[in-house]
Chain A
Amino acid sequence: MKYLPLIWAGIWRKRSRAILMLLQIASAFVLFGVLQGLDTGVSQTIAKQHGDRLYVSSSVAMGDPLPIGLLARIQSVPGIEYVTPRADFDGSYQKLDQFVPVVAGDVDSFFKVYEELKTSPAAIRALRNDRSGAIVGILTMRKYGWRIGDHIVLTSGLPTSNGSHDWGFDIVGTYDTPDQPTSATALITNFTYLNESRLTGRDHADMFVTKIDSAADADRIGLAIDNAFANSSNETHTQSEAELAAAQLQQLGDLDFIVHGIIGAVFFAVLFATGALMMQSLRERVPELAVLKTVGFTDRRVMALILAESVTFCLVAAGIGLALSTLLLPLARQQIGFSRVPDIVFAEGAACAVVLAFVSGWIPASRGSRLQVVDALAGR
C-alpha cells in the first residue's frame, strides 16, 4: 500500500498520454459491458423461466393451430394442475405501429398458470362476467392513458366474423409483473370471445399452456402428452418454458458468436496499444528505475511495481468503461426486456482488465527488472 503514491505518480507521468490511453481502454470496456451484458442478460432471463410451465404446441411449428378439443385429453394427463388454451394476435391502437399484444386464455386457469401476472380477484370475476372484457398490463394502461371501464378498439390483421378488422374490448382490470417490471404490456381477454368473434380458425388454439405439480416431472409429463397425440393428425410438441426460451434464443441466431467476435477484436487492438505504450514509457523511465534500484529496490520489486502500475491503470479504465455501459444499456430496454448490466459482467470485466494488464505489462516489467544499474545510469 505504501507504494501507491509511487504507482500513481508513474501512471500520471505524462498526463495527456495517460488520459488518451485511459479513454482508449475505457472505450473497449464500454463495448464489453454493453455486449457481454446483453449476452449474459439474455441467458439469465432464460434461466429464470418457470420449469413447471409446459407449452403444448403443434409438432408442425409453434403457433400452428391445434383443435380446442385436445384440452380435455391434456387435462387428464396425471401431474397437470391447470391448463389454458392460448391464442395471440397483434393489435394496433389508433396507429399501425402502436402495438398491443393480445393474449386470449381461459380466465379461470390463465392466471393460475401465469401466477407471476398479479391481478385482483375482482378483476378476474369481472373478466369472467364480461365476454369482451380485458385485463391490461399497467405499462400499456399508462402509455395510452386508459382507465378501467374504458371501451377501446384495436385494429388487427385478424378479421372478425363480420369482415371488419376492429376488435373492441372493455377494460375490467389491470395486471402487473413485479418480477419483470418491463413486461406488463399485454391485453388479456377471454378465449371464448376471440374464438367466437374471429372469421377463421374457429375452435383452434395456438397452443395449450399447463402448470404441472413439479418441475422435476416436466420431461415425463411432456412425453405423456406428446404420446397421447402421437400418430394423430394433431401431433404435439411439448416444451417447458425454459426450453422454449432457449429455442427462441436459437432463433435470434448466433448472438454469442457475434458478441465474442467483436469483443475479441476490440481487446486485440487495445492489447497492442497498451503494450506499445508501456514499452515506450519504460524506455523513457530507464534512469528513474535505475535510481530506484540504486536506493535498494530489488529486481523483483521493480517488476512488481511496473505490473502494479499496469493493473491499477487497466482497472481504473475498466471501471470507467463499465460505468458508461450501465448508462447505455437501458436505452435498449424495449428490445431486450431488462435494463441492468448483470453483476457477473463486472466481475468478468475486472478479470479481463487484470489479464490485459499482465499481458501488456509483462515484457516492460521483465525488461525493467533486468536493468543493470550501471548501464542504465550511463544511458547505455
Chain B
Amino acid sequence: MSFLDQTFALTATALRSMSGRRGAALVTVIGVTTVVGVLISLLALSNGARALGGSEASPDEAVVLGSGAASSQQSVLTRDEALAVRNAPGIKRAPDGTLYLSATTMVSVDAIRSNGKRGSVALVGFTPAIRLFAPGVKLIAGRMYRPGVHELIVSDPLRKMYRGLELGDHITLRGTEWTVVGIAAGNGTVNDSILRADADTVMSAFGRNTYQQVIVELTSPAAFDTFKSWALSNPALPVQVKTEAADFDDTFGQLHRLLDFVAYFIGGVMASGAICGALNSLYASVDARRRELATLRAIGFGGGPIIASVLIEGMLLALPGAFLGAAAAWLLFNGHVLSTEGLIFTLTVTPGLLVVSVSWALAMGLIGASLPALRAARVPVAVALRAT
C-alpha cells in the first residue's frame, strides 16, 4: 500500500472508533470553539475600529491640520489659515467654480445614553462645500440642515444610542435651541459618531473663532505632492498636510492596533490552554489504541502514515471548533454597537475572519497532535501486543 492509502486507511479507522472516545473529542471541540469564539469577537471589535476610518480612504482627499497637533482632535486652524488654503494648487473645482474644500469645527456635547448614563458626542460643523464630497450623507429621514439656522442632523446609530435625538427633537446647548432636522444612515465609519451642522453656525453659537481642520479633494492623487509642498513652503502658514489615509491612521490606527494586540494576546493564552487540552485528549486516543496501532505496525503499516493519520485526526477534531466559534461570534456580536470615548463601533465579523479562525483551529489541532503522533509511531510492537 502506498503512503496515502495507508494514511487514509488509518485515519478512517481512527474516526470509526471515535464514538468510544466521545468525551475526549468533545473536550477538544469545545476548547477550540471557545478560543476561536473569543478571538473572532475581539477581532470583530478591532475591525469596527478599523472601519471608523472608512474601509478605503479616498486617495485624492487631503487633510490640512494646524501645526504641532498630534491628531486632528488637537488641531486648531485660524480663519486666515483656512482661507489661505483656498489659494493652494491642485484642488478640484466643481463646474460652477466652487472649490472642493471644506473647513470643519468640532465641539463635544454631552448627551444622555438610552441606559441613563451621560456620554459625550461630537458636534461637527462643516462649511457648505462638504456637499460636493463623495460619498456624502445619505438621509433616511428628514432633510439637510440649513446654514444660519440652528439645525443639525444625527446619524442613525447615534439616534438609537442616545435619548432625545429623534427627528424634530430640540437640544439646548449654551442657551441655544438646536433642532434635529434629519437622520443620516449609518455606515460604520466615524461619521456614525457625530452630529453634523453648518460650521459657521456652530462657531457663532459656541463663541469659537477657529476651525479644526480643512479637508480638500484634489484633482488627482498625484496632485498631493504639489499641494503639500505649496502649503509647507509658505512660512506664514504653520500647518501639516496629510493624505486622508495617513490622517485616519494617525487618528484611529493606534486604537485598532491596540485592539488587535489584545485580541491576539488573549487568543494566544487561550490557545495555549486549548492545545494542552488537545494534547491530552489525543494522547488518550493514542493510548487507547496502543494494541491496535501495534497490530497495524506488525502487519506492515509504516511510521509515517501513522504520524500523518494522528495529525489529520487532530486537525479534523479542531475544524468543527473553527466554524462553531466563528458562527457563535457572528450570531452573538455581528452588528453589535459599542461606544467608547465618544466613538461608536460596530462589531463586524468579516469573511476574512473565517480564514483566521480556520487557520488558528488547524494550527491548534496540528500542534496538539504532534507529540501524540510521535508516540503513536513509536509504539513498541512486541511490548504493546504482549500487554493485557
Contact = CB atoms under 8 A, between A and B. Distances in A.
Given A99-B70, A156-B68, A266-B270, A276 B340 contact: no
Interface centre among B35, B173, B208, B270 (most CB of A within 10 A): B270
Contacts of A158: 68, 74, 76
A269 B274 contact: yes
A231 B42 CA distance: 45
A268 B34 CA distance: 8
A60 B173 contact: yes
Contacts of A58: 174
Interface stretch (A19-27, A68-76, A182-190, A302-310): A19-27
Given A20-B280, A269-B30, A64 B108 contact: yes
A140 to B, nearest CB: 16
Given A21-B280, A61-B107, A163 B30 contact: no
Given A62-B110, A269-B31, A269-B34, 16 more contacts: A24-B273, A24-B276, A31-B266, A64-B107, A90-B70, A157-B68, A157-B70, A165-B67, A237-B110, A247-B118, A253-B338, A269-B35, A272-B26, A273-B30, A277-B27, A280-B284
Contacts of A247: 117-118
Contact of B34 (A21, A60, A266): A266
A270 B117 contact: no
Contacts of A44: none
Contact of B340 (A23, A253, A280): A253
A239 to B, nearest CB: 9
Contacts of A234: 174
Interface string A71-92: 0000000000000000001101
B24 interface: yes
Interface in B7-49: 23-24, 26-27, 30-31, 33-35, 37-38, 41-42
Contact of A164 (B75, B238, B270, B338): B238
Given A200-B76, A265-B34, A31 B276 contact: no
Contacts of B148: none
A96 interface: yes
B75 A163 contact: no
A262 interface: yes
B74 A251 contact: no
Given A60-B107, A156-B74, A276 B175 contact: no
B119 A17 contact: no
A238 B81 CA distance: 36
Contacts of A250: 117-119
Given A16-B283, A269-B30, A62 B108 contact: yes
Interface string B265-304: 0100110111011011101100000000000000000000
B4 interface: no
A287 interface: no
B341 interface: yes
A110 B344 CA distance: 36
A159 interface: yes
Interface string B228-258: 0000000010100000000000000000000
Interface centre among A35, A250, A276, A279 (most CB of B within 10 A): A276
B338 A254 contact: yes
B174 to A, nearest CB: 6
A27 B23 contact: no
Interface string A42-73: 00000000000000001111111100000000
B357 to A, nearest CB: 14
Of all A-B residue pairs in the complex, the 10 with the closest CB atoms, nearest first, are A157-B69, A27-B273, A165-B68, A253-B340, A157-B74, A61-B108, A24-B276, A155-B68, A269-B34, A233-B175
Interface centre among A63, A156, A231 (most CB of B within 10 A): A156
Contacts of A157: 65-70, 74-76
B109 interface: yes
A175 to B, nearest CB: 24
Contacts, number: 173
A343 interface: no
Contacts of A221: none
Given A90-B74, A270-B273, A251 B120 contact: yes
A60 B30 contact: no
Contacts of B65: 157
Contacts of B272: 23, 27
A30 interface: yes
Interface of A: 16-17, 20-21, 23-28, 30-31, 35, 58-65, 89-90, 92, 96-97, 99, 155-159, 163-166, 199-200, 231-235, 237, 247, 250-254, 261-262, 265-266, 268-270, 272-273, 276-277, 279-280
B78 interface: yes
B209 interface: yes
Contacts of B33: 269
B340 A251 contact: yes
A314 B203 CA distance: 62
Nearest to A243: B118
Contacts of B174: 58, 60, 233-235
A268 B33 CA distance: 11
Nearest to B121: A61
Contacts of B26: 272, 276
A96 B117 CA distance: 34
Interface centre among B31, B65, B173, B269 (most CB of A within 10 A): B269
Interface centre among A16, A26, A272 (most CB of B within 10 A): A272
B38 A61 contact: no
A31 B274 CA distance: 13
B329 to A, nearest CB: 10
A270 B284 CA distance: 17
B210 interface: yes
B339 interface: yes
B34 A200 contact: no
A16 B206 CA distance: 69
Nearest to B45: A258
B68 to A, nearest CB: 3
B342 interface: yes
B66 A165 contact: yes
